[in-house]
Amino acid sequence: MKAEWCKISLFFLFVVAFIGTLLRLVAYVPIPFKYTNFVHAHSHTAFQGWVYLTMFLLLANTFLTDRQIEKKRYLLQFKLTIFIIFGVLVSFSLQGYGLYSIIFQPYTNCLTIGLFIAF
């Protein structure tokens, strides 16, 4: 398992913690953003950006050899997942449940199904 992959997963944990802190501050400090959009961005990024990526890394590290992990298939899937998670984070932050956020959601599901088929 590449150390960079773990750092990316921890980066999303940091992003989720930061958004969660902002959400807690809303009660005390006026912050110029729509609260519900950030609640959705927080929950989806927490699950997909941290939990899903951590599970992806644990599965790959536990059941795959280093040679299998280095295949382009898993690297491509990991990169696509990162791209989609950033899309989910930005789209939910800006519009909540809107066109773009709903477009990104099925892609996450397809990548999850692809991951389990690959195993």
Q: What is the pLDDT of residues 32-82, one digit of tens each?
A: 888 999 999 999 999 888 888 888 888 888 888 888 877 778 888 888 989
Q: Which pLDDT value is given to residue 86? A: 93
Are 57 and 5 contacting, i.e. CB atoms less than 8 angstroms apart? yes
- The pLDDT assigned to 42 comes to 92
C-alpha to C-alpha distance for 111 and 78, rounded to whole angstroms: 9
Q: Is the pLDDT of residue 3 over 90?
A: no
> In this predicted structure, what is the pLDDT of residue 1?
58
Check pLDDT > 80 for residue 93. Answer: yes
What per-residue confidence (pLDDT) applies to 77? 86
pLDDT more than 70, % of the chain? 99
pTM: 0.85
State the Cα torsion 114-115-118-119 to the nearest 10°.
Answer: -140
pLDDT at 87 over 90: yes
pLDDT averaged over every residue in the chain: 87
Q: What's the CA gap between 53 and 10, in Å, rounded? A: 9
